[in-house]
Structure 1
Amino acid sequence: MRAEIIASVRALADPAYQRRVWIGREYPSPDYYDDLTLTVNILYDDTTVLADPQAALGRTLSSDAEVAAMSRLADELTRALDEVGRDEPDERYLASPVWPGVVDAASAALDVLTAGK
Protein backbone atom coordinates (compact mmCIF):
# COMPACT_ATOMS: atom_id res chain seq x y z
CA MET A 1 0.00 0.00 0.00
CA ARG A 2 2.83 2.39 0.77
CA ALA A 3 4.21 1.94 -2.75
CA GLU A 4 0.79 2.87 -4.17
CA ILE A 5 0.69 5.95 -1.94
CA ILE A 6 4.13 7.07 -3.06
CA ALA A 7 3.28 6.47 -6.74
CA SER A 8 0.08 8.49 -6.38
CA VAL A 9 1.80 11.34 -4.56
CA ARG A 10 4.54 11.31 -7.21
CA ALA A 11 1.87 11.72 -9.91
CA LEU A 12 0.35 14.67 -8.05
CA ALA A 13 3.79 16.26 -7.75
CA ASP A 14 4.57 16.08 -11.48
CA PRO A 15 2.64 18.44 -13.80
CA ALA A 16 4.47 17.09 -16.88
CA TYR A 17 3.31 13.57 -16.01
CA GLN A 18 -0.23 14.86 -15.45
CA ARG A 19 -0.32 16.49 -18.87
CA ARG A 20 1.28 13.52 -20.62
CA VAL A 21 -0.65 10.69 -18.92
CA TRP A 22 -3.86 12.13 -17.48
CA ILE A 23 -4.58 14.51 -20.36
CA GLY A 24 -2.62 13.11 -23.32
CA ARG A 25 -3.26 9.44 -22.40
CA GLU A 26 0.35 8.57 -23.26
CA TYR A 27 0.77 5.48 -21.12
CA PRO A 28 4.14 3.77 -20.56
CA SER A 29 2.72 0.32 -21.40
CA PRO A 30 -0.43 -1.16 -22.96
CA ASP A 31 -1.89 -2.36 -19.63
CA TYR A 32 -1.21 0.92 -17.81
CA TYR A 33 -3.86 3.42 -16.79
CA ASP A 34 -3.83 6.49 -14.58
CA ASP A 35 -5.84 9.65 -14.13
CA LEU A 36 -6.77 12.03 -11.33
CA THR A 37 -9.81 9.98 -10.32
CA LEU A 38 -7.72 6.85 -9.84
CA THR A 39 -5.14 8.82 -7.85
CA VAL A 40 -7.82 10.33 -5.61
CA ASN A 41 -9.44 6.91 -5.12
CA ILE A 42 -6.12 5.37 -4.07
CA LEU A 43 -5.30 8.14 -1.59
CA TYR A 44 -8.75 8.71 -0.08
CA ASP A 45 -10.64 5.43 -0.47
CA ASP A 46 -8.26 2.50 -0.96
CA THR A 47 -5.55 3.49 1.53
CA THR A 48 -7.52 6.19 3.43
CA VAL A 49 -4.21 8.01 3.91
CA LEU A 50 -5.71 11.38 2.93
CA ALA A 51 -9.06 10.72 4.54
CA ASP A 52 -7.32 10.42 7.92
CA PRO A 53 -3.53 10.81 7.82
CA GLN A 54 -3.19 10.47 11.60
CA ALA A 55 -4.91 7.08 11.54
CA ALA A 56 -2.39 5.93 8.89
CA LEU A 57 0.52 6.45 11.29
CA GLY A 58 2.08 3.07 11.96
CA ARG A 59 0.26 1.46 9.02
CA THR A 60 1.29 3.25 5.83
CA LEU A 61 2.88 6.37 7.28
CA SER A 62 5.90 6.06 9.51
CA SER A 63 6.38 9.44 11.20
CA ASP A 64 4.69 12.58 12.41
CA ALA A 65 6.43 14.44 9.56
CA GLU A 66 4.73 12.16 7.05
CA VAL A 67 1.38 12.71 8.75
CA ALA A 68 1.87 16.49 8.62
CA ALA A 69 2.90 16.42 4.95
CA MET A 70 -0.04 14.22 3.97
CA SER A 71 -2.42 16.39 6.01
CA ARG A 72 -1.27 19.42 4.02
CA LEU A 73 -1.74 17.49 0.78
CA ALA A 74 -5.22 16.41 1.89
CA ASP A 75 -6.13 20.04 2.59
CA GLU A 76 -4.88 21.25 -0.80
CA LEU A 77 -6.41 18.41 -2.79
CA THR A 78 -9.75 18.70 -0.99
CA ARG A 79 -9.73 22.43 -1.71
CA ALA A 80 -9.15 21.74 -5.42
CA LEU A 81 -11.88 19.11 -5.52
CA ASP A 82 -14.31 21.47 -3.82
CA GLU A 83 -13.46 24.54 -5.92
CA VAL A 84 -13.26 22.85 -9.31
CA GLY A 85 -16.01 20.28 -8.73
CA ARG A 86 -15.84 16.59 -8.04
CA ASP A 87 -16.87 15.36 -11.48
CA GLU A 88 -14.90 17.72 -13.70
CA PRO A 89 -12.39 16.49 -16.29
CA ASP A 90 -8.72 16.43 -15.33
CA GLU A 91 -8.01 19.39 -17.64
CA ARG A 92 -10.12 21.64 -15.41
CA TYR A 93 -8.09 20.74 -12.32
CA LEU A 94 -4.76 21.35 -14.01
CA ALA A 95 -5.98 24.74 -15.27
CA SER A 96 -7.33 25.78 -11.87
CA PRO A 97 -5.53 28.53 -9.94
CA VAL A 98 -5.55 26.24 -6.87
CA TRP A 99 -3.79 23.34 -8.63
CA PRO A 100 -0.24 24.64 -8.01
CA GLY A 101 -0.97 24.33 -4.27
CA VAL A 102 -1.72 20.63 -4.80
CA VAL A 103 1.49 20.15 -6.78
CA ASP A 104 3.55 21.97 -4.13
CA ALA A 105 2.01 20.00 -1.28
CA ALA A 106 2.51 16.73 -3.17
CA SER A 107 6.15 17.61 -3.88
CA ALA A 108 6.75 18.31 -0.20
CA ALA A 109 4.98 15.10 0.81
CA LEU A 110 6.99 13.09 -1.71
CA ASP A 111 10.22 14.49 -0.28
CA VAL A 112 9.21 13.40 3.22
CA LEU A 113 7.90 9.99 2.11
CA THR A 114 11.09 9.18 0.20
CA ALA A 115 13.67 10.79 2.50
CA GLY A 116 16.63 8.49 3.00
CA LYS A 117 15.48 6.12 0.28
Structure 2
Amino acid sequence: MIEHPDARSAVIDLLGDLADPAFQQRVWVERKGDPNLIENLDQAVADLFDLYLDDKNIERYIGAVLRNSSEAERVAELAGVLLPLYASLPPGTSDAAVIAMPEWSKVMETARAALRTFSEE
Protein backbone atom coordinates (compact mmCIF):
# COMPACT_ATOMS: atom_id res chain seq x y z
CA MET A 1 0.00 0.00 0.00
CA ILE A 2 1.21 3.48 -0.87
CA GLU A 3 1.69 5.77 2.14
CA HIS A 4 1.13 9.01 0.21
CA PRO A 5 -1.45 8.42 -2.54
CA ASP A 6 -1.95 12.15 -3.17
CA ALA A 7 1.76 12.59 -3.86
CA ARG A 8 1.67 9.54 -6.14
CA SER A 9 -1.25 11.04 -8.04
CA ALA A 10 0.66 14.32 -8.42
CA VAL A 11 3.74 12.46 -9.72
CA ILE A 12 1.59 10.64 -12.28
CA ASP A 13 0.05 13.95 -13.37
CA LEU A 14 3.50 15.51 -13.75
CA LEU A 15 4.74 12.54 -15.77
CA GLY A 16 1.70 13.02 -17.98
CA ASP A 17 2.56 16.68 -18.45
CA LEU A 18 6.13 15.81 -19.43
CA ALA A 19 4.89 13.16 -21.86
CA ASP A 20 2.22 15.21 -23.63
CA PRO A 21 3.34 17.68 -26.32
CA ALA A 22 -0.20 19.03 -26.82
CA PHE A 23 -0.44 19.87 -23.10
CA GLN A 24 3.00 21.51 -23.19
CA GLN A 25 2.07 23.68 -26.14
CA ARG A 26 -1.35 24.64 -24.80
CA VAL A 27 -0.39 25.26 -21.16
CA TRP A 28 3.32 26.03 -21.03
CA VAL A 29 3.61 27.98 -24.27
CA GLU A 30 0.16 29.42 -24.98
CA ARG A 31 -0.67 29.82 -21.25
CA LYS A 32 -4.17 28.38 -21.68
CA GLY A 33 -4.15 26.45 -18.41
CA ASP A 34 -5.89 27.17 -15.14
CA PRO A 35 -5.19 30.86 -14.38
CA ASN A 36 -5.01 30.03 -10.66
CA LEU A 37 -2.07 27.67 -11.15
CA ILE A 38 1.52 28.27 -12.11
CA GLU A 39 2.06 25.72 -14.83
CA ASN A 40 5.31 25.73 -16.74
CA LEU A 41 8.38 23.59 -17.26
CA ASP A 42 10.23 25.12 -14.30
CA GLN A 43 7.36 24.31 -12.00
CA ALA A 44 6.96 20.76 -13.34
CA VAL A 45 10.65 19.98 -12.78
CA ALA A 46 10.66 21.58 -9.33
CA ASP A 47 7.51 19.78 -8.26
CA LEU A 48 8.61 16.39 -9.53
CA PHE A 49 12.20 16.38 -8.28
CA ASP A 50 12.13 18.81 -5.37
CA LEU A 51 8.65 18.53 -3.90
CA TYR A 52 7.63 14.91 -4.49
CA LEU A 53 10.83 12.99 -5.25
CA ASP A 54 14.55 13.37 -4.64
CA ASP A 55 16.36 12.59 -7.89
CA LYS A 56 19.47 11.52 -5.97
CA ASN A 57 17.67 8.84 -3.93
CA ILE A 58 14.51 7.82 -5.76
CA GLU A 59 14.52 4.29 -4.31
CA ARG A 60 13.66 5.63 -0.87
CA TYR A 61 10.20 6.56 -2.19
CA ILE A 62 9.23 2.93 -2.82
CA GLY A 63 6.22 2.28 -0.63
CA ALA A 64 5.65 5.95 0.03
CA VAL A 65 5.00 7.31 -3.48
CA LEU A 66 6.29 4.58 -5.78
CA ARG A 67 5.04 1.00 -5.79
CA ASN A 68 8.20 -0.84 -6.71
CA SER A 69 11.73 -0.72 -8.09
CA SER A 70 10.44 -0.69 -11.70
CA GLU A 71 8.73 2.64 -11.09
CA ALA A 72 11.83 3.96 -9.33
CA GLU A 73 14.02 2.87 -12.26
CA ARG A 74 11.78 4.61 -14.82
CA VAL A 75 11.72 7.84 -12.80
CA ALA A 76 15.50 7.64 -12.39
CA GLU A 77 15.81 7.26 -16.17
CA LEU A 78 13.67 10.35 -16.63
CA ALA A 79 15.84 12.27 -14.18
CA GLY A 80 18.91 11.14 -16.11
CA VAL A 81 17.51 12.56 -19.35
CA LEU A 82 15.62 15.62 -18.11
CA LEU A 83 17.85 17.09 -15.43
CA PRO A 84 21.10 17.36 -17.45
CA LEU A 85 19.18 18.97 -20.32
CA TYR A 86 17.45 21.32 -17.91
CA ALA A 87 20.73 22.23 -16.20
CA SER A 88 22.35 23.04 -19.55
CA LEU A 89 19.77 25.68 -20.46
CA PRO A 90 20.79 29.31 -20.34
CA PRO A 91 18.82 31.34 -17.78
CA GLY A 92 15.55 32.61 -19.17
CA THR A 93 15.20 29.96 -21.87
CA SER A 94 11.52 29.87 -22.79
CA ASP A 95 9.43 26.74 -22.49
CA ALA A 96 8.71 27.06 -26.22
CA ALA A 97 12.44 26.91 -26.99
CA VAL A 98 12.96 23.89 -24.73
CA ILE A 99 10.12 21.81 -26.13
CA ALA A 100 11.32 22.63 -29.67
CA MET A 101 14.77 21.18 -28.95
CA PRO A 102 15.52 17.81 -30.57
CA GLU A 103 16.58 16.49 -27.14
CA TRP A 104 13.09 17.14 -25.77
CA SER A 105 11.66 14.17 -27.66
CA LYS A 106 13.80 11.86 -25.48
CA VAL A 107 12.37 13.52 -22.36
CA MET A 108 8.82 12.89 -23.58
CA GLU A 109 9.62 9.32 -24.60
CA THR A 110 11.16 8.59 -21.19
CA ALA A 111 8.20 10.18 -19.38
CA ARG A 112 5.82 8.00 -21.44
CA ALA A 113 7.80 4.90 -20.50
CA ALA A 114 7.54 5.89 -16.84
CA LEU A 115 3.78 6.41 -17.18
CA ARG A 116 3.39 2.95 -18.71
CA THR A 117 5.22 1.45 -15.74
CA PHE A 118 2.96 3.33 -13.32
CA SER A 119 -0.13 1.93 -15.05
CA GLU A 120 1.04 -1.69 -14.88
CA GLU A 121 -0.58 -3.81 -12.20
TM-score class, shorter-chain normalisation, is 0.7 to 0.9
Q: Deviations over 1:44-93 (max 9, x none)?
A: 11112434211211211111110110011000101221333464221121
Residue 26 of structure 1 pairs with residue 26 of structure 2: no
Percentage identity across paired residues of the two chains: 28
Pairs aligned (count): 115
Q: Deviations over 1:77-113 (max 9, x none)?
A: 0122133346422112101121011000000001111
Mark the runs of 5 or more structure 1 residues left unpaired by the alignment. none
Aligned-residue CA RMSD (Å):
1.6
**Larger RCO, structure (CA 8 Å, separation 6 or more):** 2
Indicate the residue corresponding to 1:10 in structure 2.
Answer: 16
Q: Which of 81, 85, 90 matches 2:95?
A: 90
Mark the runs of 5 or more structure 2 residues left unpaired by the alignment. 1-6
Separation (CA, whole Å) in 2 of partners of 1:86 and 1:109: 28
Q: What are the within-5 Å matches in structure 2 for residues 1-117 of structure 1?
A: 1-27=7-33, 29-85=34-90, 87-116=92-121
- 2:55 is paired with a residue whose SS is coil
Indicate the residue corresponding to 2:3 in structure 1.
Answer: none
Change over 3 Å in CA distance of 1:56–1:115 after alignment to 2: same
**TM-score when normalising by structure 2:** 0.85
**TM-score when normalising by structure 1:** 0.88
